Structure 1
Amino acid sequence: MIIDTHLHIVDRGALSYPWLKSTPALDRDFSYEDYAREARRGGISDTLHMEVDVDPADIEAETAYVARKARKPGSLLRGAIAACRPEDPGFAEYLERARETLFVKGFRRVLHVVPDDLSEGALFRENIGRLKGTGLTFDLCVLPHQIPKAIALIDLAPDVQFVLDHCGVPDIKDGAEHPWREHMTEIARRPNVVGKISGVVAYADAESWTVETLRPYVEHTIGVFGWDRVVWGSDWPVCTLGGGLSTWLAATHALVAGASVEEKAKLLSGNARRIWRL
């Protein structure tokens, strides 16, 4: 079975998502129920919810919303990667509240939508360091040219577990591999980082991509991180921009067809189960 480490739920009646206005293809509700129906058919047994960059005033409300969904009988939800603002003075108190819920498994601050130097701030770096010893992860969502910024943050917090989202967000549509390829090799040298195999169908040409279009990016990510340091994510509903959940699942199986049973199990469930104690 598969553990999906990157599900987004969008409920505009419950939470505010300012960024959706600039992305018309995603500016609608995407319910857990619709996701779960397709996920079960594809072999997904467990899911982590990934924050959806809600309005900052709704950050804790989003976690509470997902936790309510998780308490329903038969839910696939096992925890949440919650939004955070490490640049804010109130982060330490927020961290303690999140730890008390036991539902929060990690945090993310999307860095490619903010100034490049945000992660270089002293308070930001100090607060990321507070994750040491908590068992909570920090997801990095950066563009290829920002990977060196992520590396600097990682090197300052060697005892924190980082997760690099979406294979490092390569520009697959334009076939760009440099400097993405070199930066991926460098970031993977840090043992406290895992690579997330996710998102790539949304970065390819929606009309023309094939498994072979994705292969250089997925295989390089797995190659530099190794089978013990990769996890899988659907990035639903963003994956609908490139074909949808079932299409991405089928492409994943094709991409790793030559791997051993043990290697596939690590990518699709084992590593996630270990990292997030699922």
Structure 2
Amino acid sequence: MIFDTHLHLVDRGRLSYPWLAEAPALNRDWTYAEYEATARRIGITDVLHMEVDVAQTDIDAETAFIAELIARPGSLLRGAISAARPESADFAAWLERIDPAVVKGVRRVLHVVPDDISQTSVFRENIRRLGQAGLPFDMCLLARQLPLGAALADTAPDTALVLDHCGVPDIAGGAFTEWAAAISDLARRPNVSLKLSGITAYTGGNWTLKTLRPWVDHVLDSFGPDRMVWGSDSPVCTLHSNLAEWVCASHDLLSGCTPDERAAIFHRNARRIWRIAG
């Protein structure tokens, strides 16, 4: 059983994705049907859709799009991690009107905005609101921004925070030491979990299991199996691998864990963090 906590779907005829113009390798439609065909073959049983940084005016439309897919008979989708603007004074009103049957969490990509946005009083108060609503917040930060994540965790101790993509390490550049220290520091915050996702995209393409192992071993040592979840980051994972390769690599990289620990990382923790019935 694998719970994929990080699937992106793209429908350019329905929604606007301004950033795709600068990402030609990803600039096409990525459909649920295409993903599902492979996912079922390799053991993925449950999925959360991760927002795809659509134009701000399309945020609610993206949620409606995913709600339709969730409602399909036999769908693997269990909910959406919605885009939002916690820096906005309108956030509280937005939070009041979302459908909790669909929206299971929230993300604001923080490496596309000025660093100080996540440090404002409005942003921090709205992240605390998420905790009060029982909704986790996915932190998408570059490695240099990991201290910002630690500061946010300290100001919202009752909100579950999930660090995406192992903190976007520069694996290709071998920038291990500073990243590792920042990961260890962030892991001291008990309200933060880590998502094992997307890291093949940071390898430059010439990777093997040996390339990835030190980075995965470090996050496992820092957070432990009870505060880690798994995500495909599909289709971004296709930049330097594919969905099946990432699943296979993940099984090997976690082979030193006990069966119970692997079950926690691959599916049990996701159900707990995002409150998904088993």
For normalisation by structure 1, the TM-score amounts to 0.98
Partner AA of 2:240 in structure 1:
G
How many Å apart are 1:185 and its aligned residue?
0.1
Q: How many residues align structurally?
A: 276
Paired with 1:234 and 1:54, the residues of 2 have a C-alpha distance of 19
Q: Does structure 2 retain, via aligned residues, the 8 Å contact 1:139–1:163?
A: yes
1:246 aligns with: 244
Gap regions ≥5 residues in structure 2: none
Paired with 1:86 and 1:271, the residues of 2 have a C-alpha distance of 25
Paired with 1:75 and 1:204, the residues of 2 have a C-alpha distance of 32
Paired with 2:153 and 2:125, the residues of 1 have a C-alpha distance of 12
1:77 aligns with: 77
1:51 aligns with: 51
Partner AA of 1:90 in structure 2:
D
Mapped pair 1:153 → 2:128: no
2:137 aligns with: 138
How many Å apart are 1:178 and its aligned residue?
2.5
> Where do residues 48-197 of structure 1 align in structure 2 (5 Å cutoff)?
48-98=48-98, 100-197=99-196
Partner AA of 2:6 in structure 1:
H
How many Å apart are 1:256 and its aligned residue?
1.1
Deviations 1:132-190 (A, max 9, x none): 22110000010111111111111000000000000110001111113100000000000
1:223 aligns with: 221
Paired with 2:113 and 2:275, the residues of 1 have a C-alpha distance of 31
How many Å apart are 1:273 and its aligned residue?
1.2
Mapped pair 1:276 → 2:269: no
For normalisation by structure 2, the TM-score amounts to 0.98
Partner AA of 1:268 in structure 2:
F
Paired with 1:64 and 1:5, the residues of 2 have a C-alpha distance of 19
2:256 aligns with: 258
Paired with 2:235 and 2:241, the residues of 1 have a C-alpha distance of 10
Partner AA of 1:106 in structure 2:
G
Deviations 1:39-98 (A, max 9, x none): 111100000000000000000110110010110111000000000001111100111112
Paired with 1:178 and 1:228, the residues of 2 have a C-alpha distance of 24
2:27 aligns with: 27
Gap regions ≥5 residues in structure 1: none
Paired with 2:184 and 2:250, the residues of 1 have a C-alpha distance of 21
Partner AA of 1:264 in structure 2:
R
- The 3-state SS of whatever aligns with 2:165 is helix
Paired with 1:29 and 1:132, the residues of 2 have a C-alpha distance of 34
Structure 1's consecutive aligned runs of 4 or more residues displaced over 2 angstroms after TM superposition are: none
Paired with 1:10 and 1:107, the residues of 2 have a C-alpha distance of 18
Q: Percent identity?
A: 57
Paired with 2:251 and 2:100, the residues of 1 have a C-alpha distance of 35
2:14 aligns with: 14
- The 3-state SS of whatever aligns with 1:179 is helix
Paired with 2:185 and 2:42, the residues of 1 have a C-alpha distance of 34
Paired with 1:4 and 1:126, the residues of 2 have a C-alpha distance of 29
Partner AA of 1:200 in structure 2:
I
Paired with 1:114 and 1:132, the residues of 2 have a C-alpha distance of 23
- The 3-state SS of whatever aligns with 2:61 is helix
Q: Does structure 2 retain, via aligned residues, the 8 Å contact 1:195–1:222?
A: no
Paired with 1:61 and 1:128, the residues of 2 have a C-alpha distance of 22
Paired with 2:273 and 2:179, the residues of 1 have a C-alpha distance of 25
- The 3-state SS of whatever aligns with 2:49 is strand
* Segment drifting more, 251-260 vs 11-20: 251-260
- The 3-state SS of whatever aligns with 1:175 is coil
Paired with 1:20 and 1:178, the residues of 2 have a C-alpha distance of 32
- The 3-state SS of whatever aligns with 1:48 is strand
Paired with 1:238 and 1:53, the residues of 2 have a C-alpha distance of 13
